[in-house]
């Protein structure tokens, strides 16, 4: 063991969706580095139905066989009470909570938007945005009281948009707002939260048609290749907060939300907007606002406020405590 190895000795981590695939690899890596892991997994099928305590138990047995420490938690995270009790279960088992990895999720398959309904959207929002919100809300006071905490949300490149998967994309995109808002709020108490959109050969790869691409994907997109990034984001030395990443196949990159310089005309007409569209769509972003306040600051400065004036004005707006 090298002296530079990042360890989690004495730390407790919750990993949701840890019964199989990518979540299992996150849990195993953290446990190998000394973390005590709460393995949360209801054991649903690929489409979010049914339940099976087997996957969570298998992960726990595997971690223990590797010399680690883990317990299983098999309640439904789409149910508010099940999600809330996750943090309590970790505290009951290990007495503390240092990091949370919300990896749980499922697909509902591809459907044309004209055939979509609210039930499908609600189901995906429940395991993604709502479960993440509740988990973070329960973990927050614990982490705040101890003066530190790490949260890694496992999202999807569906945030970029995917035809035939509008509810899935909508639910995953909600993670961006959650991540950025909590990152801004957690700065003062050393709570850091980041978002990872992974690529890996999970159960969803079973739906791929046989062929050269499927063979290549299964060979190169091992689920364990995402875990080192997740591990760093869970560590007390995590160097980033509020960042968005993509990870897969050994590649890690930053996802950027930016604004171009755009164009300014106080007397803008529809026709002038059309004419200015190439300038508006200039590909190179010149600013990367990380909060709503920073975006408002860019707007104020673009329309004539001096940088100092904009910041001072924004500083007058205080959030409720």
pLDDT of residue 148: 97
Same domain, 295 and 225: no
pLDDT for residue 134: 97
**Structure confidence at residue 101 (pLDDT):** 98
Same domain? For 98 and 136 the reply is yes
Q: Comparing C-alpha atoms, which of 34, 42, 37, 36 is closest to residue 17?
A: 42
State pLDDT tens for residues 249-272. 888 999 988 888 888 888 999 999
- What number is the average pLDDT over the span 122-146? 97
CB atoms within 10 A of CB 192: 25
Q: Which residues pair with 269 in a beta bridge?
A: none
Question: Above 70 in pLDDT, residue 320?
Answer: no
What was the pLDDT predicted at 122?
96
Of 47, 73, 160, 168, catalytic: 168
Q: What is the pLDDT of residues 172-201, one digit of tens each?
A: 999 999 999 999 999 999 999 999 999 887
**83 burial class (0-12, 13-18, 19+ CB within 10 angstroms)?**
buried
Residue 75 lies in a domain: yes
The candidate with the shortest Cα–Cα distance to 217, out of 206, 228, 227, is: 206
Distance of CA 223 to CAs 35, 91, 108, 200, Å?
20, 28, 21, 5
Same domain, 189 and 285: no
Instruction: Read off the pLDDT band of 303 (50, 70, 90).
Output: low
Query: For the whole model, what pTM was predicted?
Result: 0.88
Same domain? For 53 and 133 the reply is: yes
Residue 310, pLDDT above cutoff 50: no
215 with 277, same domain: the answer is: no
Q: Is 160 a catalytic residue?
A: no
Same domain, 249 and 309: no
As for how many domains the chain has, the answer is: 2
- Both 231 and 311 in one domain: the answer is no
- The CATH code of the domain that includes 53 is 3.40.50.720
Question: Average pLDDT for residues 134-149, to the nearest whole number?
Answer: 97
Range of the domain at 295: 270-315
pLDDT band at 213 (very low <50, low <70, confident <90, very high): confident
Residue bearing the bigger pLDDT, 201 or 73: 73
pLDDT(76) > 70: yes
Q: Examine the pLDDT at 321 and tell me if it is beyond 70.
A: no
- pLDDT, residue 307, reads 55
User: What confidence tier does 115 reach under pLDDT thresholds 50, 70, 90?
Assistant: very high
Q: Is residue 73 part of a domain?
A: yes
User: Within this chain, do residues 79 and 206 fall inside the same structural domain, yes or no?
Assistant: yes
Is residue 3 a part of any domain in this protein?
Answer: no
Q: Residue 102's closest CA among 8, 172, 29, 180?
A: 172
Is there a single domain that holds both residue 189 and residue 275?
no
């Amino acid at each position: 063991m090298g002296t530079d190895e990042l360890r989690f000795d004495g730390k407790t981590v919750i990993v949701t969706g840890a019964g199989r695939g990518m979540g299992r690899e996150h849990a195993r890596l953290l446990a190998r580095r000394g973390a005590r892991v709460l393995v949360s997994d209801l054991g649903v099928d690929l489409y979010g139905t049914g339940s099976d305590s087997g996957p969570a138990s298998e992960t726990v047995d595997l971690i223990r066989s590797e010399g680690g420490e883990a317990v299983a938690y098999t309640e439904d995270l789409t149910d508010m009470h099940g999600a809330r009790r996750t943090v309590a279960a970790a505290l009951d088992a290990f007495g503390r909570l240092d990091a949370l990895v919300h990896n749980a999720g499922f697909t509902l398959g591809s459907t044309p938007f004209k055939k979509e309904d609210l039930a499908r959207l609600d189901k995906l929002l429940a395991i993604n945005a709502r479960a993440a919100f509740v988990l973070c809300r329960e973990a927050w006071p614990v982490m705040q009281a101890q003066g530190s905490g790490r949260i890694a949300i496992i999202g999807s490149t569906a945030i970029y948009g995917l035809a035939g998967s509008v509810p899935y994309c909508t639910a995953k995109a909600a993670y961006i707002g959650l991540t950025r808002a909590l990152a801004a709020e957690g700065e003062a108490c050393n709570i850091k939260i980041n978002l990872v959109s992974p690529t890996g050969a999970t159960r969803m790869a079973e739906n791929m048609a046989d062929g050269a691409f499927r063979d290549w994907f299964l060979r190169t997109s091992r689920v364990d290749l995402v875990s080192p990034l997740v591990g760093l984001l869970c560590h007390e030395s995590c160097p980033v907060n509020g960042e968005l990443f993509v990870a897969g196949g050994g590649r890690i990159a930053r996802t950027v939300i930016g604004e171009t310089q755009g164009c300014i005309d106080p007397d803008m007409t529809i026709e002038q907007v059309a004419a200015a569209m190439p300038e508006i769509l200039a590909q190179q972003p010149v600013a990367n606002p990380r909060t709503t306040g920073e975006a408002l600051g860019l707007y104020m400065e673009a329309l004539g406020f001096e940088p100092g004036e904009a910041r001072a004005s924004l500083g007058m707006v205080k959030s409720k405590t």
